[in-house]
Structure 1
Amino acid sequence: MLFRTKSAAVYGIDAHIIDVEVDVAAQLSEKPLFTTVGLPDAAVRESRERVRAALRNAGYDVPNTTITVNLAPADIKKEGSGFDLPMAAGILGAYGGLNKQTLDDVVMVGELSLDGSIRGVRGTLSTAVAARAAKIKRLFVPVENAREAAVVDGIEIYPVKTLMDVVHLINTGNGIEPVKVDSQAVLNEAQHFNVDFKDVRGQQTAKRALEVACAGGHNILMIGPPGSGKTMLAKRIPTIMPPLTFEEALETTKIHSVAGVLDSRAGLVGVRPFRSPHHSVSDAGLIGGGAVPRPGEVSLAHHGVLFLDELPEFPRNVLEVMRQPLEDGTVTISRAAMSLTFPARFMLAAAMNPCPCGYFNDRTRECKCSQPMIQRYVAKISGPLLDRIDIHIDVPAVNYKELRSGQAPEGSTQIRERVLHAREIQLNRFAKERIYANAQMSSRQIRTYCELSSEGEHMLERAMSQRGLSARAHDRILKVARTIADLDAAAQIESRHIAEAIQYRALDRTFWA
């Protein structure tokens, strides 16, 4: 007898609906045979042992017949353990254990334990989106994945704990109510932070630079001695960035769900991600990879912040692979059998010491590094990568008076208000362009939107000639100056905006030569 159910295969961050066809031979055989076809991976092929044991321990006696399971379409690779549940349901239906002839109106995913209980799987949110697109109204998912899937409107999500729950739900329609989640309320509840800029004493120049970076979407590099607060500042960047929209939250959650790092209690990533990989990370860990490619750190930081501490300590080849996501906002991973593209639009925040010992130009500690040592240290960061970082800012050590000052520092809420106002100006400016922030402007757009006053023109010309700045530095200064002018709500870039932008080019100064 033939019985059909439906499941889903996650491919990249998207899911594809899969028909699970189960055929059971009419006659008994001496040895039970269970064959899975349709391009399954090892985890799917192993499911036959889990499914048989789960059915037996749930109280169902599976006769010694030949069982053939086809996962269609056969040209899409099936991987993972999420096909256990639809295969078990298909076998029960083929043996007459269900009241229906087919289950074409239900998509189900879940891994079976040997006792018949159902475990969570990756990519449930993507499965819910695919089911809604296929106009399938019901989705059976493990309990721990229910909140994640329920943020998708227009589909009924049924949380199931055991195989018997699924059988009763199919046969009687009773016992389990669909999960309801107010996705906007979930997003609003998640908009809170455990850190704030008011915790940071001193470092007013660095705080201002981070405000400018967030307002214009600029990448930033902080340079300072150990203990000056670079990591502390970086961790507070998400607190002043614009809040996630629901569409951004949904896309970010899909990535985290596929990667298996989503908090099942939250169901939705409500704040901008902050990823801080160690400098020992491999290029596959940073960009993504594997036999079946998984998202890397740059994709997990999508719509958020990727913080690289001790930037020169990262291997050169690892830093070089970031050039594509920094330029395009996507990562393409090619394998012999497939090529996947993951989104990776993030703000890069990096930190480094000014020299190997960390105390070059420090007022309290003596630097023991020679000039060639400093040059070799800074040269570990390639020119093409530095070209994609608009702001280089010095972060000196905080002195005692600033640490013990009784004046309360400005909090993240006030800074974020200014950032949001500047972002709104940019959204209106680029309404007819395919960009949303000043950092994304091309050379043509820089000439169009970065109009200088006469004083600003003279100041930029003087800085270019006296400091020997390159054409790339010229464009970076104009982008940052445009953002500073937006924070001042100024239509034209003035000399004070140019002067501040020039101060954010620490690596262009002569003492690095």
Structure 2
Amino acid sequence: MSAHVCRAAAVSLTGLDGTVVMVEAAVSQQLPGMAIIGLPDAALAEAKLRVRTATGQIGLPVSSRFVTVNLSPAALPKHGSGFDLAIALAALAASQQVPESDMSDTVHLGELGLSGELRRPAGLLTAVVAARAHGFARVMVPSSCVREAQLVPGIEVVAVAGLLDAVAWYRGERRIAALSTGTPGRAEPRTSEAHASAASHPTFAGDMSDVIGQPEAVEALVVAAAGRHHLSLLGPPGAGKTLLATRLTTILPPLTDDEALQASCIASLGGDTLTSLVRTPPFESPHHTASTVAIIGGGHGSAVRPGAITRACHGTLLMDEAPEFNRDVLEALRQPLESGTVEIHRSNVRAVLPARFQLVLASNPCPCGNAGSVETAIQCTCTPIARMRYQQRISGPLSDRIDLRLNLHRVSQALVNADPGHRPTSAQLRERVIAARSRTAHRLRHTPWRVNAEVPGTMLRGAFKLDRADTAVLDQAYARGAITMRGYDRALRIAWSVADLAGIPRPGRPELAQALALRGGDRT
């Protein structure tokens, strides 16, 4: 007599991409034991010990015979402990201790403890989003992270504290459902989102009014925020580079619904449980000793972990002391800056992670930091060759992908003692940025782009083409080799951002001249 095969659904994550895995279990006439097949990693292969111990602890040992568990599709590498709940339920159903009905129509997410309790698996929110995308109407999750699962609208959430509650739910003892089931359209997820929106700009991030005596730099940051342009800050120590860079996030608009869900999915890959969507633009500032994998992303085997550029998606990535970063790390940024994604390739897995971040490079002009200083008491002690080598650590191709380049100087004592009352606050500047982005979104409403930094050069020189009389300043700079074609397009994007901030329908010669100046004048 053939063994009856019971199935329970789960989700396998590769980066932010989720694939539905059907956990199949069958009991055979062999000595007691369990085998898991279908390319599990070490953590997943150990699930057989967790499952056998947990089922025994709750008084429902899986079987006195041999249980074979297959993870289908078998050719897909699988990793992590998030399959434990599905494996346990499929094994119990195969040993006829749990009804099999609805088990294959529900996605099960949870790691088992030895006493039968359930814990949150990494990437739970991402797995729920994948379950909804594949047409599932219900997910079963640990009760400790029910609010995180309910952030995804349009899917029913059944929360169980442990394996015994999951068994009771399938046996028809639905008393736990009234406490822990979220139905599509329920108001609780939206309440969490509203709470997140109210805290979009926390006070600990500081305020732009903290910046003293750098009005041109502050205005340049507003332009960068309006168009989501990349920014380079060059200046001696104490000029305010880090202060300006950290305040950029405070003038960015809150994330849209789609951006918030994606940013929350990225955050869910960590170990913390989310209670609301991420509405604040993320901010990442890795140390200059960070490796390429830490910045770009990577992992071992089939486990792909996002790097800093993915965690900063829809936000800001600050690389302070940029020339001190490893050259390979800096060069690895070039492709994500253009495409907005990063591809992770391993021998048996390929993952595409989002990387639509705003880059800020902060650097000193030389190793000692005093090159070009106007203070007579501070002189540069670096040799010319040392200064040249230091500046060349940021390559020409990477520098060409930076939209705005600012030279900063130390603030004089007179400005330090000036009245702070006239300094613009982050709230005031954010209103300008929001208004500018609204004009941009209206202009780009029939295109796939939302901000000026995303518009390709073919559109800038085509549908949004400007008069030749206005672009003469850029044409002359390009003719003498002062800017590349990529630099030409980026100057056009900056000009559109300047025009959107000014509230004019299209940039003219003054806006183009300002864009060229913000890009560094005649420097390539």
Which residue in 2 is equivalent to 1:181? 189
Q: How does 1:81-100 map to 2 (within 5 A)?
A: 81-100=81-100
Which residue in 2 is equivalent to 1:60? 60
- Secondary structure of the 2:461 match is helix
- Secondary structure of the 2:180 match is coil
Alpha-carbon separation, structure 2, partners of 1:275 and 1:508: 31
TM-score (structure 2 length as normaliser): 0.89
The alpha-carbon deviation at position 476 of structure 1 amounts to 3.4
Q: How does 1:120-269 map to 2 (within 5 A)?
A: 120-171=120-171, 172-175=173-176, 176-179=179-182, 180-182=188-190, 184-194=193-203, 195-258=206-269, 260=270, 263-269=272-278
Whether 1:37 aligns to 2:37 is: yes
TM-score (structure 1 length as normaliser): 0.91
The alpha-carbon deviation at position 367 of structure 1 amounts to 1.5
Which residue in 2 is equivalent to 1:451? 466
Q: How does 1:404-483 map to 2 (within 5 A)?
A: 404-408=417-421, 409-448=423-462, 449=464, 451=466, 454=469, 468-483=482-497
Alpha-carbon separation, structure 2, partners of 1:34 and 1:137: 30
Q: 1:286 aligns with which of 295, 301, 305?
A: 295
Report if the CA contact (8 A) 1:43-1:79 is conserved.
Answer: yes
Deviation track 1:10-60 (CA, whole Å, cap 9, x = no partner) reads 1231222221121123x573xx22111122122111111111111222233
Give the residue type in structure 2 aligned to 1:285. A
Report if the CA contact (8 A) 1:453-1:495 is conserved.
Answer: no
- Secondary structure of the 1:19 match is strand
Alpha-carbon separation, structure 1, partners of 2:475 and 2:153: 55
CA 1:189/1:164 → structure 2, altered by over 3 Å: closer, same or farther?
Answer: farther
Report if the CA contact (8 A) 2:63-2:95 is conserved.
Answer: no
Alpha-carbon separation, structure 1, partners of 2:371 and 2:503: 37
The alpha-carbon deviation at position 468 of structure 1 amounts to 4.7
Report if the CA contact (8 A) 1:113-1:119 is conserved.
Answer: yes
CA 1:369/1:245 → structure 2, altered by over 3 Å: closer, same or farther?
Answer: same
Alpha-carbon separation, structure 2, partners of 1:14 and 1:470: 37
Alpha-carbon separation, structure 1, partners of 2:369 and 2:51: 58
Alpha-carbon separation, structure 2, partners of 1:137 and 1:475: 46
Alpha-carbon separation, structure 2, partners of 1:420 and 1:102: 47
The alpha-carbon deviation at position 209 of structure 1 amounts to 0.7
- Secondary structure of the 1:350 match is strand
Q: How does 1:60-79 map to 2 (within 5 A)?
A: 60-79=60-79
Deviation track 1:53-79 (CA, whole Å, cap 9, x = no partner) reads 112222334543111111112122221
Report if the CA contact (8 A) 1:93-1:101 is conserved.
Answer: no
Which has the larger displacement, 291-300 or 383-392? 291-300
Q: 2:15 aligns with which of 12, 23, 47?
A: 12
Q: How does 1:368-383 map to 2 (within 5 A)?
A: 368-383=381-396
CA 1:467/1:374 → structure 2, altered by over 3 Å: closer, same or farther?
Answer: farther
Alpha-carbon separation, structure 1, partners of 2:43 and 2:7: 21
Deviation track 1:264-298 (CA, whole Å, cap 9, x = no partner) reads 14342221111111111111221111222222111
Q: Which runs of 5+ in 1 are unaligned?
A: none
The alpha-carbon deviation at position 459 of structure 1 amounts to 5.2
The alpha-carbon deviation at position 469 of structure 1 amounts to 4.9
Give the residue type in structure 2 aligned to 1:372. I
Give the residue type in structure 2 aligned to 1:219. H
Q: 1:367 aligns with which of 372, 377, 380?
A: 380
CA 1:60/1:488 → structure 2, altered by over 3 Å: closer, same or farther?
Answer: same
Alpha-carbon separation, structure 2, partners of 1:112 and 1:42: 15
Identity among equivalent positions (%) equals 39
- Secondary structure of the 2:103 match is coil
CA 1:407/1:66 → structure 2, altered by over 3 Å: closer, same or farther?
Answer: same
Alpha-carbon separation, structure 2, partners of 1:69 and 1:328: 41
- Secondary structure of the 2:347 match is coil
Deviation track 1:327-365 (CA, whole Å, cap 9, x = no partner) reads 111111122212211111111111000111111222332
Alpha-carbon separation, structure 2, partners of 1:278 and 1:490: 41
Alpha-carbon separation, structure 2, partners of 1:221 and 1:168: 59
Deviation track 1:415-453 (CA, whole Å, cap 9, x = no partner) reads 112112222222232333333332234333333435358
Report if the CA contact (8 A) 1:151-1:181 is conserved.
Answer: yes
Give the residue type in structure 2 aligned to 1:451. L
Report if the CA contact (8 A) 2:401-2:486 is conserved.
Answer: no
Which has the larger displacement, 54-63 or 119-128? 54-63
Report if the CA contact (8 A) 1:248-1:303 is conserved.
Answer: yes
Alpha-carbon separation, structure 2, partners of 1:460 and 1:8: 52
Give the residue type in structure 1 aligned to 2:263. T
Alpha-carbon separation, structure 2, partners of 1:61 and 1:335: 39
Which residue in 2 is equivalent to 1:306? 317
CA 1:104/1:439 → structure 2, altered by over 3 Å: closer, same or farther?
Answer: closer
Give the residue type in structure 1 aligned to 2:296. I
Which has the larger displacement, 7-16 or 320-329? 7-16
Alpha-carbon separation, structure 2, partners of 1:156 and 1:471: 51
- Secondary structure of the 1:93 match is helix
Alpha-carbon separation, structure 2, partners of 1:89 and 1:390: 54
CA 1:506/1:58 → structure 2, altered by over 3 Å: closer, same or farther?
Answer: same
Q: Which runs of 5+ in 2 are unaligned?
A: 183-187
CA 1:37/1:506 → structure 2, altered by over 3 Å: closer, same or farther?
Answer: same
Q: 2:511 aligns with which of 494, 497, 504?
A: 497
Alpha-carbon separation, structure 2, partners of 1:483 and 1:412: 18
Give the residue type in structure 2 aligned to 1:497. E
Alpha-carbon separation, structure 2, partners of 1:51 and 1:126: 24
Give the residue type in structure 2 aligned to 1:44. L
Alpha-carbon separation, structure 2, partners of 1:123 and 1:265: 10
Which has the larger displacement, 444-453 or 71-80? 444-453
The alpha-carbon deviation at position 326 of structure 1 amounts to 0.6
Whether 1:399 aligns to 2:402 is: no
Whether 1:488 aligns to 2:497 is: no
Deviation track 1:136-170 (CA, whole Å, cap 9, x = no partner) reads 33211123332221111122212222222212222
Report if the CA contact (8 A) 1:118-1:162 is conserved.
Answer: yes
Q: 1:296 aligns with which of 307, 320, 330?
A: 307
Alpha-carbon separation, structure 2, partners of 1:508 and 1:217: 23
Deviation track 1:186-219 (CA, whole Å, cap 9, x = no partner) reads 4423423222212222211111111011111211
